[in-house]
Amino acid sequence: MKVMSPEELEKFRRGLLARRKHKRVIAVCVGTGCVALRAQKVAEAIKDDVKKHGLEGRIEVRKTGCLGLCELGPMLIIYPDEIPYFRVKPEDASEIISKTIMKRKLVERLLYKDTITGETVSKIKEIPFYKYQLRLLLENNAKIDPRKIEDYIAIGGYSALAKAMFELTPEQVIEEVKESNLRGRGGGGFPTGRKWETCRNALGKPKYAIVNCSEGDPAAFKDRALMEANPHAILEGLIIGMYAMEVSNGFVYVRNEYPLAAEHMELAVKQAEKMGFLGEDIMGSGLSFRVEVHRGAGMFVSGESTALMSGIEGKTGEPRPKYIHTAVRGLYEKPTDLNNVETWMNIPLIISNGAGWFKSIGTEGSKGTKVFSLVGKVNNVGLVEVPMGTTLRDVVYNVGGGVQNDERLKAVQVGGPGGGFVPEEMLNVPVDFDEMVKAGTSMVLGSVVVLDEDTCIVDLTRYFADFLSEESCGKCIPCREGLRVLLKVLNDVYEGKGKEEDIEMIDDIAEIMKEASLCALGSTVVNPVLTSLKYFRDDYEAHIKLKRCPAKVCKKLRGENQKWGRSLP
């Protein structure tokens, strides 16, 4: 069936809601993290049990994307009561059905237990992890099966597209996005509306629009989780953007290491074509848009916009000089707008609720929310969304529930290889584009890694250098050779062979890489090195001068009488 007008879309949506007979929904997370913990088996077991009790007509078992608290997966939520169960095993299925569904009794052992009071929590929103978040992009994850476009339409999906296409002119859409002050979530923080305007006004046809889901940083999985859980929201944002910029061809670039995300996106495109949100004569408007899903080869450098475009063109994913914006000359040398998954996902929200609403969230310079993965030595590992302006301290202690085993926090590493270290005393820095840059890291912020006193900063910096020396494309001399020497020097420091002049050498190389590298990879990957030198110089000096690793991590410096780790007596 094709939707031929906004009215038909609304009628279709009402029909969907009217046909819903299910009284309750069991939303089982089958995001990649939970699947690794046998979540598929849990979902199947629950389905079987529902069938056994003859409840199929009344209970819907919904397989959803990431529900957030990965630490305690596999997890599920029972609606409308909003009862969350954690660490669910397939064997628990029958008890959940017979107790909670049939008798409305809670299964105590599967509930969340407060770490401080020890009391169980039976409402999802009362769990501290969720209480301190503002989940604008993530809250729909539980409400939809990413494989069903009907689920997305039922919660009002594609109505923002209808509004944009039938109530607003392309210029008004761009004006709205500009007014909202939405900034690029990939890390650059460039105002999205301005980028759109540049692309729209640029000469040359055809133009292209691209969704960047080439998330290669270790520890980050927010783009994957968003695309796995809610592909239609990203697609809707993309189509709105294509309408605003008068682009007829769109691409979704997904790295092949994200098979589930790519699969869901491919399915979403097919379903959208079937429903008439893509293809010819969209919703009876006479406009035609095409979207193609491109599976990338999964290099870290492919996340860089020009490298990504080379990849789509069928060439090696290598960056090229970007002194002329890609919005003017990008894919196939034509004007191309490229935005991060999360940026695109904000678009339908802005169009539906208005720029004024969006601007009411966040700080002066950064509006809206930020999604990232919270990982490392923190109690609540998971996918997090907080309003801009939330301090990292609140993220770690309120949302994250503090450091594991009540260890002392040493630093947080934000943004992976392109970000930096934020030491404990600077944790009051808010999640905000400008404040983050001031703190010496960039706002790449796909991940926040919590580090305790047992973490050796030198060792971790060495890990990043090792990762990057193979993930850099190797085209320009500062980045390729800089990383080669950096890795060797950091390895020497790690092994106790460091020399006094090494710190200066590291500093020198990092400076050259920052100033002279060809692309943003080379110039941002020195952030961890520079911030580690700035805030943890003592650690380096202990390794070099005293031949001692304060965190007792670096093997060759552990010595005979040093104990492994801090947790041992």
Partner 1 sequence: MGKIVTLKIDDKEVKTEEGMTILEAAKQAGVEIPTLCYHEGLDPYGACRICSVEIEKRGRSRIVAACCYPAEEGLKVITRSPRIDKIRKTIIQLAAVTAGEDVAGEMRALASEYNADLSRFRSRVPMEPIKCILCGLCVRRCIEANWDSAIGFEGRGVNRRVVLFPEKAGICSTCNYCYVVCPTGRISSAYGPDPPFPFIDDVLAGRK
Backbone angles phi and psi of 235, in degrees to 5:
-65, -40
Is residue 493 within 8 Å of 504, Cβ to Cβ?
A: no
Q: What letter represents residue 527's amino acid?
A: N
Residue 483 interacts with partner 1 (CB under 8 A)? yes
**How far apart, in whole angstroms, are the C-alpha atoms of residue 11 and residue 64?**
25
Find, among 249, 393, 404, the residue nearest to 331 by Cα. Answer: 249
Taking the least distance from each CB to partner 1, the nearer of 93 and 487 is 487
Answer for which of 240, 457, 476, 529 binds partner 1 (CB under 8 A) is 476
- Contact mark string toward partner 1, 204..233, x via CB under 8 A: ------------------------------
Report the DSSP pairing between strands 249-255 and 290-296.
Answer: parallel
Query: What one-character-per-residue DSSP string does 40-93 give?
Result: HHHHHHHHHHHHHTT-TTTEEEEEES--S-GGG-S-EEEETTTEEE-S--GGGH
Six-digit token pair at 222? 């927010």
Taking the least distance from each CB to partner 1, the nearer of 230 and 524 is 524
Q: How far is the CB of 488 from partner 1 (least distance, A)?
A: 5
Residue 495 interacts with partner 1 (CB under 8 A)? no
Q: How far is the CB of 319 from partner 1 (least distance, A)?
A: 9
Residue 468 interacts with partner 1 (CB under 8 A)? yes
Is residue 174 within 8 Å of 197, Cβ to Cβ?
A: yes
**How far apart, in whole angstroms, are the C-alpha atoms of residue 479 and residue 64?**
41
- Contact mark string toward partner 1, 412..451, x via CB under 8 A: ----------------------------------------
DSSP 397: I
Q: How far is the CB of 516 from partner 1 (least distance, A)?
A: 5
Q: How far is the CB of 113 from partner 1 (least distance, A)?
A: 46
Residues 55-114 that bind partner 1 (CB under 8 A): none
**How far apart, in whole angstroms, are the C-alpha atoms of residue 207 and residue 112?**
50
Residue 333 interacts with partner 1 (CB under 8 A)? no
Q: How far is the CB of 227 from partner 1 (least distance, A)?
A: 25
Residue 504 interacts with partner 1 (CB under 8 A)? no
Residue 331 interacts with partner 1 (CB under 8 A)? no
Task: Select from 12-20, 70-78, 447-455, 502-510 the region that touches partner 1 (CB under 8 A).
Answer: 502-510
Taking the least distance from each CB to partner 1, the nearer of 390 and 469 is 469
Taking the least distance from each CB to partner 1, the nearer of 284 and 298 is 298
Report the DSSP pairing between strands 409-414 and 420-423.
Answer: antiparallel
Residue 503 interacts with partner 1 (CB under 8 A)? no
DSSP 24: E
DSSP 447: E
Q: How far is the CB of 476 from partner 1 (least distance, A)?
A: 5
| Integer angstrom CA distances of residue 196 from 112, 173, 209, 217, 247 | 44, 10, 10, 26, 11
Residue 306 interacts with partner 1 (CB under 8 A)? no
Is residue 58 within 8 Å of 103, Cβ to Cβ?
A: no
**How far apart, in whole angstroms, are the C-alpha atoms of residue 292 and residue 498?**
51
Taking the least distance from each CB to partner 1, the nearer of 369 and 472 is 472
Task: Select from 38-46, 351-359, 417-425, 505-513 the region that touches partner 1 (CB under 8 A).
Answer: 505-513
Applying CB under 8 A, the residues found at the interface with partner 1 are: 299, 301, 316, 320-321, 323-324, 468-478, 480-485, 487-489, 492, 505, 508-509, 512, 515-518
